[in-house]
Amino acid sequence: METPFGITLDVGSSRANHTGSWRVERPVYVDRLPPCNDACPAGENIQGWLYHAESGDYESAWRALVEENPLPAIMGRVCFHPCETACNRVRVDDAVGINAVERFLGDLAIERGWTLPEPGADTGKRILVVGSGPAGLSATYHLRRLGHAVHLVDSSHQLGGMMRYGIPAYRLPRDVLDAEIARILAMGVEVTLDHVVDDVEQERRDGSYDAVFLAVGAQIGHRVSIPAGDSSRVVDAVTFLHQVADDDPPLLGRRVVVYGGGDTAFDAARTARRLGATDAVIVYRRNREHMPANEEEFAQALGEGVTMRWLSTVNRFEGERLVLEKMRLNEAGFPEPTGELEELDADALVLALGQDTDLSLLERAPGVVIRDGVVEVAPTMMTGDAGVFAGGDAVPADRTATVAVGHGKHAARSIDDYVNGRVREAVARHELASFDRLNTWYYSDAPRTRRPELEKIRRQDTFDEVVQGLTEENALFEARRCLSCGNCFECDNCFGVCPDNAVIKLGGGERYEIDYDFCKGCGICVSECPCGAIEMVPEKI
């Protein structure tokens, strides 16, 4: 068909589809899964709470956050934020400082005394939670929200698990840890401390529990056979950090060597420096590219005077000298001995070679399978013993606090299904909001705000917190850097650019709808949507 202006329009296909003379496709609003949400081990709706934060409604943001994670001030300090690695904004300038905003909200909640949601109506069900680390506390919180009575037991004399006894105070101040734990306990939780559960089946029968969640952390340090003239000068990092947390640190001397390459090794070395060690050396058998420690902690440790001995392994400990053997990496990146020895002055050796979980409490539990030091669980987190669930360090997964928080939540919901005789149906996941669906020309460069750090001179002999929080102005700025990937945030672009006035504003957070009697399927709304929340779909014949 030729118009009076000499322009030819091909409308045959649209007529064949019986959709009028203009449209073969129609725009529809969609909700896609933001990559930050997808990467969060705790299952937070990160984009959702950032949406509230960027408007300055911090309490709504915090309440949206604690729907999934009751420990935002803690996780805002110790989580290694995989959400930021996945953030689409990395392709524009730098990731949104999600973890920093989470900490800001968590700290603000403590400062202003915001309380967690009220427990659900009493169900008459009683659940035993063993272990008060991030998995146990998360499960306790979500179980109380569901209305179940919770008995939380721990073998230590304070709650917190490895958050208290494995993470030094310069990373996680104890007043912050205590405040977020107290908020969960205020929901009405029975607590028993200094209690070792050595037989979960007997404990379950004695307490008449309807279900059990095991959140026993990895609190046993790996030991290796290293010839040493004085074994008292060799200590594992888990024991060392636990003693420091109990304000009873061992005397390590001035020259401390830490053997290992994970985060615990760096925690031990940085702690030794604060206790007076003039030399804190980490010996690691591979190179930097193969070291599992977090990059931020690595950089902070070097800034505090911790030094490295790469491609080295400990051979023996003689007097005040540590004998090291040099290593080389083969083609597969695996370290091999070279036979070359060197000496290093040392007063103490701290072993940070991994951690194990004590699972002896499951020895009499029927149907439980333990393989490679962890419990095999179903997708529901239930072990082979019906009604006994496990999570955190006790199961096959990454050993991080955030993963444990997610396990606690998932287990609580599965326990709720179990005690009520339900089977939860799988929920379909939204399509991932990939970067290529965004229209980032609407976003100007906005460099990420970096969290300030305590001056290095003040870190030498104090356990004061190293990484500081954001100001309200900085937190607001960071929240507003969010691209709202895949989900409409009511920017009005589609409403403003539609040439046919076919986009209708619904208001009140209800977003928009399209009047297809007027829409001719030009697709301008799709091309101008900054967050990729509209797509064109074929008309049905």
What is the tens place of the pLDDT at every residue in 483-527? 999 999 999 999 999 999 999 999 888 999 999 989 999 999 999
Distance from chain centroid for Cα 483? 21
Give the per-residue pLDDT at 4.
39
SS3 category, 151: strand
How far is it, in rounded angstroms, from Cα 369 to Cα 371?
6
User: What is the tens place of the pLDDT at every residue in 169-186?
Assistant: 999 999 999 999 999 999
Q: Which tokens sit at 462? A: 């104090």
Q: Select from 75, 85, 208, 66 the least CA-distant residue to 144.
A: 66
Please determine, for residue 16, whether its predicted confidence score (pLDDT) is greater than 80. Answer: no
Do residues 414 and 382 lie in contact, with contact meaning Cβ atoms separated by under 8 Å?
A: yes
> How high is the mean pLDDT of the chain?
92
Angle, alpha carbons 279-282-284 (nearest 5°)? 155
Distance from chain centroid for Cα 447? 24
Average confidence (pLDDT) over 118-140: 97
Give the per-residue pLDDT at 248.
93
Q: pLDDT confidence of 447, banded at 50, 70, 90?
A: confident
Distances (CA, A) of 344 to 3, 144, 418: 88, 53, 57
Please determine, for residue 11, whether its predicted confidence score (pLDDT) is greater than 80. Answer: no
Q: Could you give all domains of the chain from N- to C-terminal order, each with its CATH number?
A: 12-31+488-538 (3.30.70.20), 40-115+440-480 (1.10.1060.10), 126-219+356-419 (3.50.50.60), 222-354 (3.50.50.60)
Strands 220-221 and 355-356, how do they pair? antiparallel
Q: How does DSSP classify residue 344?
A: E
Spatial neighbors of 334 by CB under 8 A, at least 6 apart, are: none
Phi, psi of 94 (to 5 degrees): -155, 155
Q: pLDDT confidence of 233, banded at 50, 70, 90?
A: confident
Phi, psi of 253 (to 5 degrees): 95, -170
Full strand arrangement of the beta sheet holding 321-329: 312-318, 321-329, 335-345
Angle, alpha carbons 208-210-215 (nearest 5°)? 100
Helix (H) or strand (E) holding 258: strand 255-259
Average confidence (pLDDT) over 407-420: 97
Torsion of CA 267, 273, 277, 278, to 10 degrees: 130
Q: How does DSSP classify residue 122?
A: P
Residue 227 backbone class (left: φ over 0; alpha: ψ -120 to 50; beta: rest): beta
How far is it, in rounded angstroms, from Cα 355 to Cα 237?
9
Please determine, for residue 238, whether its predicted confidence score (pLDDT) is greater than 60. Answer: yes
Q: Which tokens sit at 411? A: 């287990």
Query: Which of 8-12, 133-137, 374-378, 526-530 is the least confident region?
Result: 8-12
Query: Which of 4-8, 240-244, 313-317 is the least confident region?
Result: 4-8
Q: pLDDT confidence of 541, banded at 50, 70, 90?
A: low
How far is it, in rounded angstroms, from Cα 203 to Cα 1?
82
